[in-house]
């Protein structure tokens, strides 16, 4: 038995030589892989959530309900499509397409395995690769958000518009943190191509030596995909259904397809960047068969579905965050810590240039553990922080004469919750209650 060598990994020079029929075959395989994963994810999500909540879940369509997600897809496709009056029709119809197409395009540079033989042609198990492959994924997934924003704007309704605006703020906030986590990986790997990053993890996975980057990416990818507890653009509690409230039939199904494909994409990217990609677990490395041929696809799928299970687990376990907590987490915790960690990685990389790979890894791992503990403490403090009544400006601390008026939840005729720092009190009259009755009566009659 011989161990797999780093020289056996595909490089950028191995791409661009496939015939047209093989490129089409790879594209169809990637498309089929994503569609099947979406069908399985919808079914397993309902099954796992039911199990966690002591329910049965789907069990009618097919053996043990296995065809339920397929039946739901057919039902959505055959339902009548309703277009409300007052929508911007062109953008309204284009928005689902803009959301779903980039979700599939992002998977073009994800490596599934090493070089294999397909009908006598040696080719990497990857559609293509670029010298800036990871930046390509970031750019394409960012375009997909335009579908959500345009869907909310073109619907001509208040709640979808609010969902689109939330999605815009969400992407801006969490994509910065996500990009900074990738910067740490680029510094250590010395490349931005996905195949090169997988090859750079031959001796150690980056989840071990770049732990803060992994944790920040794991949080950011949940925010990027609008999944619970960060599903604020489609929060049915206050936005009915969010950006897709006015959509039905196949157009609504396309938004759901884009969401689940994006889940698979960010999970595959996390596997590629931090878990060694298609490389087998360390205890299987001594075996030739584990990292050659078609076996690496199995390890890749297992790692991807480990992240998919976490998505489902979070949705079942955690309540939705308040919006100010969500934005504070992105701007006050994740982005500053990501910036600091990138600088730490750069300093370690420059200071340990003459050391062995093992020494550099141990130093990076120790620094990463310290930064991870600081990150956990910062997030815990942010989530646990409750404003002290003594610190909140208002009648309680400054006196009714100088503080802001009490918050009236029924102002405008519709009950709304107070913002952080606002004090609920009796409605404030436009006339000073301390004024004499005659003065108040005169002002009332004048009005």
Give the model confidence (pLDDT) of 188-243 as tens digits: 888 899 999 999 988 889 998 888 899 999 999 998 888 888 888 877 777 777 88
How much is the pLDDT for 7?
A: 44
How much is the pLDDT for 430?
A: 41
Q: What is the DSSP letter of 428?
A: P
CB atoms within 10 A of CB 178: 23
What is the residue-averaged pLDDT of the chain?
Answer: 82
Q: Are 249 and 93 in contact (CB under 8 A)?
A: no
pLDDT cut 90: percent of the chain above it: 26
Q: What is the mean pLDDT of residues 280-306?
A: 87
Query: How far out from the chain centre does Cα 83 lie?
Result: 29
In Å, how far are 66, 247, 349, 426 from 76, measured between CA atoms?
18, 11, 52, 49
What are the phi and psi torsion angles at 124 (to 5°)?
-70, 150
Q: Are 297 and 26 in contact (CB under 8 A)?
A: no
How much is the pLDDT for 39?
A: 92
Assign 428 a pLDDT band (cuts: 50, 70, 90).
Answer: very low
Alpha carbons within 13 A on the beta-carbon side of 368: 22
State the pTM of this model.
0.81
How much is the pLDDT for 432?
A: 46
Please list, in sequence order, all residues whose beta carbon lies within 8 angstroms of the beta carbon of residue 402, skipping any fewer than 6 positions away: none
CB atoms within 10 A of CB 47: 20
Query: How far out from the chain centre does Cα 237 lie?
Result: 21
Tens digit of each residue's pLDDT (9 = 90 or more) over 4-29:
444 478 888 888 888 999 999 999 99
Least confident of 118-132, 157-171, 269-283: 157-171
Report the C-alpha gap between 55 and 153 in whole angstroms: 38
How much is the pLDDT for 155?
A: 87
Tens digit of each residue's pLDDT (9 = 90 or more) over 361-398:
888 888 888 888 887 887 777 666 555 444 445 444 44
How much is the pLDDT for 441?
A: 45
Q: What is the mean pLDDT of residues 128-157?
A: 88
How much is the pLDDT for 412?
A: 67
How much is the pLDDT for 396?
A: 46
Q: What is the mean pLDDT of residues 70-97?
A: 88
How much is the pLDDT for 420?
A: 66
- Taking 60 as the threshold, does the pLDDT of residue 97 lie above it? yes
Report the C-alpha gap between 152 and 365 in whole angstroms: 44
- Taking 70 as the threshold, does the pLDDT of residue 61 lie above it? yes
CB atoms within 10 A of CB 201: 24
Please list, in sequence order, all residues whose beta carbon lies within 8 angstroms of the beta carbon of residue 60, skipping any fewer than 6 positions away: 68
Report the C-alpha gap between 224 and 263 in whole angstroms: 9
* Crossing angle for the helix pair 295-317 and 20-52, to the nearest 10 degrees: 40
Alpha carbons within 13 A on the beta-carbon side of 362: 5
In Å, how far are 194, 197, 400 from 131, measured between CA atoms?
8, 11, 63
In Å, how far are 86, 230, 233, 424, 426 from 146, measured between CA atoms?
20, 18, 13, 38, 43
Assign 289 a pLDDT band (cuts: 50, 70, 90).
Answer: confident
Q: In a 3-state reduction of DSSP, which class is residue 121? A: strand
- Taking 50 as the threshold, does the pLDDT of residue 60 lie above it? yes
């Amino acid at each position: 038995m011989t161990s797999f060598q780093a020289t056996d990994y595909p490089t950028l020079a191995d791409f661009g030589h496939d015939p047209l029929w093989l490129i089409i075959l790879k594209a169809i395989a990637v498309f089929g892989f994503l569609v099947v994963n979406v069908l399985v994810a919808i079914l397993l999500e309902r099954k796992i959530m039911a199990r966690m909540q002591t329910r049965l879940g789907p069990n009618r369509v097919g053996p043990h309900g296995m065809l339920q997600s397929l039946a739901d897809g057919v039902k959505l496709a055959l339902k009548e499509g309703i277009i409300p009056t007052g929508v911007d029709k062109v953008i309204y119809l284009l928005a689902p397409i803009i959301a779903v197409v980039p979700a599939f395009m992002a998977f073009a540079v994800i490596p599934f395995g090493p070089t294999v033989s397909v009908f006598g042609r040696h080719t990497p198990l990857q559609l293509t690769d670029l010298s800036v492959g990871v930046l390509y994924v970031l750019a394409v997934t960012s375009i997909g958000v335009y579908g959500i924003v345009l869907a909310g704007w073109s619907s001509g309704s208040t709640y979808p518009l609010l969902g689109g605006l939330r999605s815009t703020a969400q992407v801006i906030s969490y994509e910065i943190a996500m990009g900074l986590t990738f910067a740490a990986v680029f510094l250590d790997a010395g490349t931005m191509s996905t195949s090169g990053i997988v090859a750079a993890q031959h001796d150690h996975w980056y989840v071990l030596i770049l732990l803060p980057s992994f944790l920040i990416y794991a949080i950011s990818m949940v925010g990027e995909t609008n999944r619970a507890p960060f599903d604020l653009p489609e929060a049915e509690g206050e936005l009915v259904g969010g950006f897709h409230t006015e959509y039905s039939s196949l157009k609504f199904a396309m938004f759901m397809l884009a969401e689940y494909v994006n889940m698979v994409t960010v999970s595959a990217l996390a596997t590629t960047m931090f878990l060694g990609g298609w490389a087998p677990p360390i205890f299987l490395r001594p075996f030739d068969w584990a990292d050659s041929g078609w076996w690496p696809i199995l390890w890749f799928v297992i790692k991807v579905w480990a992240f998919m299970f976490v998505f489902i687990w979070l949705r079942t376990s955690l309540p939705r965050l308040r919006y100010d907590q969500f934005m504070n987490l992105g701007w006050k915790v994740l982005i500053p810590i990501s910036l600091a960690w990138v600088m730490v990685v750069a300093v370690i990389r420059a200071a340990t240039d003459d050391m062995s790979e093992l020494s550099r890894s141990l130093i990076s791992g120790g620094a990463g553990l310290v930064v991870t503990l600081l990150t956990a403490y910062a997030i815990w403090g942010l989530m646990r922080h409750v404003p002290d009544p003594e610190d909140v400006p208002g009648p309680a601390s400054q006196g009714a004469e100088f503080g802001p008026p009490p918050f009236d939840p029924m102002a405008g005729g519709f009950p709304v919750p107070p913002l952080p720092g606002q004090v609920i009190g009796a409605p404030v009259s436009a006339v000073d209650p301390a004024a004499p009755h005659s003065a108040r009566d005169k002002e009332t009659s004048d009005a």
